[in-house]
Structure 1
């Protein structure tokens, strides 16, 4: 009896092949034929999973976004007793993809961001991913600011947008060599510390120590 193919598992296998090709040469190097070869499946198998290249890219981008989100959530769950400010620092660090083991993922992510500038469907998927991250940042910012005697009220949504833009920008600056990973971490550290420096204790007790 022939082995039944797990359709979703094959789609994920193909998405992994897309990522490997995108890491090596950007999305311009991704063709259905090359993806089939890298995934070790036939062209027909790829076409049965995805009707078009764009559909394949959309699925892959969704997989990448889910992976980042799951990693952020796992990081927060591992330290349930941490303050909201420290949790925010951990989350921002994960989103920025600064660690060496995430360098390949960062290259793939930026390849998709570049392609989204000329692809409305990819841009829509990215906006959905960013909206979810922004909402998480805003929640953590609101929790961290609660009870703090800040002279100027903190707007969680506005600060979440700024933090997300900073984290995303740092990814690019590290990849092109403008900043080292440590240098980017210092920039992120300083930004988060400044959110709380007007409080009586300065940056101490804020997210800086948790990065």
Structure 2
């Protein structure tokens, strides 16, 4: 009897291989053949699931975003708006091996999208959803005297910058978290 194949699981296997390669060498030099070798499968299997490298990269980026959302949601059991914002942003910072790998993938994707803007639409959509969520939380907290959309954009810029500093070993993890907490105190008031 033929074995039932979980196609989503196969796509994730290939996306994980792509993520490891992207973290190690960036996306420019990665091909479907490299991903096949990294995943231990045939190039034909990779082509069965992804017609192009861009399609595979878009899937991998979506998978990273889904994982961040899932971790953030799991940690968010009854929480205040401030706790929701902090929880999400901590999941974005590269504070462990999983998040470091994800940050490498996002950085590689950003660099690739800068020269191929046609593939950046998913990234723009995800960033817009995150900004909206953050702005909604700021509104819910009643943060007076600030523009929630601009404050949300500022939080994302802060986390992006802290992430780069952490990845390049310019900043210690505890200092990055303290900087995030200081900004949250400015927006939401003392914890």
TM-score calculated relative to the size of structure 2: 0.91
Counting only pairs closer than 5 Å after superposition, residues 73-92 of structure 1 correspond to structure 2 as: 73-77=73-77, 80=78, 82-92=79-89
Residue 21 of structure 1 aligns to a residue whose secondary structure is helix
Report the Cα offset of residue 90 of structure 1: 1.9
- Is there any run of 5+ residues in structure 2 with no aligned partner, and where? none
Q: Which of 131, 134, 138 matches 2:128? A: 131
Summarize deviations over 1:11-54 as a string: whole Å, max 9, x none: 11111110111111111342111111111211111111111111
**Structure 1: how far apart are the matches of 2:89 and 2:55?**
29
Instruction: Give yes or no for the alignment of 1:174 onto 2:174.
Output: no
Summarize deviations over 1:91-115 as a string: whole Å, max 9, x none: 2222223345522222222111221
Report the Cα offset of residue 154 of structure 1: 2.4
**Structure 1: how far apart are the matches of 2:15 and 2:44?**
16
- Is there any run of 5+ residues in structure 1 with no aligned partner, and where? 197-202, 207-211
Q: Which residue of 2 aligns with 1:199?
A: none
Q: How many corresponding residue pairs? A: 191
Q: Which residue of 2 aligns with 1:14?
A: 14
**Structure 2: how far apart are the matches of 1:108 and 1:189?**
25
Residue 127 of structure 1 aligns to a residue whose secondary structure is helix
**Structure 2: how far apart are the matches of 1:160 and 1:192?**
11
Query: Contact between 1:21 and 1:29, CA under 8 Å: does it hold in 2?
Result: no
Q: Which residue of 1 aligns with 2:113?
A: 116
Q: Which of 171, 177, 186 matches 1:185? A: 177
TM-score calculated relative to the size of structure 1: 0.83
Q: Which has the higher contact order (CA 8 A, sep 6+)?
A: 1
Summarize deviations over 1:155-179 as a string: whole Å, max 9, x none: 2112111111111221111111221
- Two-structure CA RMSD over aligned residues (Å): 1.8
